[in-house]
Chain A
């Protein structure tokens, strides 16, 4: 790598000590960034510099750095996971930027996701929604014969598409209403599309939607910014399925 390609960038990063204190945007300049570095590696380089200077490094979430765990987040220049379609922040590379660019980095924002520190948010709300019904109860015992329960190929694929949700919360972050409908609909659909999910279908959709409302997420206005920002390309057709299943549960549920 010739040094000619190395970039100098102006960063505007949200700094917040904890969830009690108010945060602010702080300016940083960083140089010597290779276009081959990932976005998180660029932040690592910044943090090394900050540590050397004796300053507090920028706190941000990350784990697998392979685009599958759903830990990384970040609003980059006002877009969840940055400008690239179907890409998590960890898979975003600095070749998307050029020398001298200004990059604004903020945490995902929603009432239900309090900022813990800097760019780290608490996504416990998603776990609470899953705990409210995003599972199937299966009695243990002898394994069933393979293929004893038939699943139409199309449904298996749609369920798999919904199941590719990594729960990163980009849908909430990009929605102007901070609605969690895409996440909840994916988690409802992955089970509702399969025979194994039918037994608890009504209860599941009801409990998950009511939990989502209780946690203070906004209401869906069918803008589809969530779908466009989703690193896994989850379709808003799942939201229609959720709406349909919820209405059905309201009419047919026994309670």
Chain B
């Protein structure tokens, strides 16, 4: 029984399904993180209070552990699948040409865009979560002024450009990943699959534009 379960769990199909499900969960995280970021437009007080409420909630550790595991599973499996896929064709073609009706730029660059996002993720945590500490006091409560950390960081045009570059990579990644997850799980429908592919592109554009707008906003409000 246990060995049979293990066989299912380690099969190519289930590995892809786990990639899909963790990927979709991460898409959910992208949406909630973006909504949180948008509070920056309402000023330092609203944003700092929101961030304070988040990090002082005792459930945050559970949520962070969950999120970290989803990331680690997605990244770990991606590495394993990519290595297996490379091994499946040890002798490469002398000439390889795409048909033009299947693979897209997004689908054929998934490991590369994924790698960019991984590097971004590590730097992102170092720059903000573990970045420079400033404090602010609202109504007698002292809390971290994460707003200042963010605005300071985006004073460098290079930081803004790097951030936007990574958000473009992220958009490309989810434009294939989002619908591909449904295909891996086994959802296919003559009407809805086409709709999902369109939705994936819309989602990608919303994510890229949504996340890229903030650094530009921070940069523009600079010395104020």
Q: Give me the interface of A with B, judged by CB distance under 8 Å.
A: 12, 14, 25, 75, 77-79, 85, 104, 106, 109-112, 115, 174, 176-179, 181, 206, 209-210, 212-213, 216-229, 236-237, 239-247, 249-250, 253, 255
Task: Confirm or deny: B57 has a beta carbon within 8 angstroms of a beta carbon on chain A.
Answer: no
Tell me whether B184 and A111 are in contact (CB under 8 A).
no
Tell me whether B180 and A104 are in contact (CB under 8 A).
no
Q: How many A-B residue pairs have CB under 8 A?
A: 152
Tell me whether B17 and A247 are in contact (CB under 8 A).
yes
Q: Which of B94, B97, B108, B184 contacts A79 (CB 8 A)?
A: B97
Q: Which residues of A contact B187 (CB under 8 A)?
A: 240, 244
Tell me whether A236 and B183 are in contact (CB under 8 A).
yes
CB nearest neighbor in A for B8: A250
Q: Which of A178, A209, A223, A241 contacts B89 (CB 8 A)?
A: A178
Tell me whether A104 and B87 are in contact (CB under 8 A).
no
The smallest beta-carbon distance between B63 and chain A, in angstroms, is 27
Q: Which residues of A contact B185 (CB under 8 A)?
A: 243-244, 247
The smallest beta-carbon distance between A54 and chain B, in angstroms, is 27
CB nearest neighbor in B for A242: B13
Tell me whether A240 and B188 are in contact (CB under 8 A).
yes
CB nearest neighbor in A for B110: A221
* Most A C-beta atoms less than 10 A away, residue of B17, B87, B103, B187: B103
Q: Which of B17, B88, B92, B183 contacts A179 (CB 8 A)?
A: B88
Q: Which residues of A contact B179 (CB under 8 A)?
A: 222
Known: A106-B93, A225-B99. A213 touches B11 (CB 8 A): yes
Q: Which residues of A contact B58 (CB under 8 A)?
A: none
Q: Which of B13, B14, B92 contacts A109 (CB 8 A)?
A: B92
Tell me whether A216 and B108 are in contact (CB under 8 A).
no
Task: Confirm or deny: B191 has a beta carbon within 8 angstroms of a beta carbon on chain A.
Answer: no
Tell me whether B93 and A219 are in contact (CB under 8 A).
no
Tell me whether A219 and B94 are in contact (CB under 8 A).
no
CB nearest neighbor in B for A224: B102
Tell me whether B8 and A206 are in contact (CB under 8 A).
yes
Tell me whether A25 and B94 are in contact (CB under 8 A).
yes
CB nearest neighbor in A for B184: A243
Tell me whether A14 and B94 are in contact (CB under 8 A).
yes
Q: Which residues of B contact A25 (CB under 8 A)?
A: 94
Tell me whether B81 and A110 are in contact (CB under 8 A).
no
Q: Which of A206, A209, A228, A244 contacts B12 (CB 8 A)?
A: A209
The 0/1 profile, CB within 8 Å of A marked 1, for residues 107-119 of chain B is: 1101000000000
Tell me whether B102 and A218 are in contact (CB under 8 A).
no
Tell me whether A243 and B16 are in contact (CB under 8 A).
yes
Task: Confirm or deny: B152 has a beta carbon within 8 angstroms of a beta carbon on chain A.
Answer: no
Q: Which residues of B contact A75 (CB under 8 A)?
A: 93, 95-96
The smallest beta-carbon distance between A204 and chain B, in angstroms, is 14
Q: Which residues of B contact A225 (CB under 8 A)?
A: 98-99, 102-103
Q: Which of B5, B93, B183 contacts A222 (CB 8 A)?
A: B183
CB nearest neighbor in A for B188: A240
CB nearest neighbor in A for B80: A219
* Most B C-beta atoms less than 10 A away, residue of A112, A217, A242: A217
Tell me whether A219 and B183 are in contact (CB under 8 A).
no
Tell me whether A241 and B186 are in contact (CB under 8 A).
yes
Task: Confirm or deny: B56 has a beta carbon within 8 angstroms of a beta carbon on chain A.
Answer: no
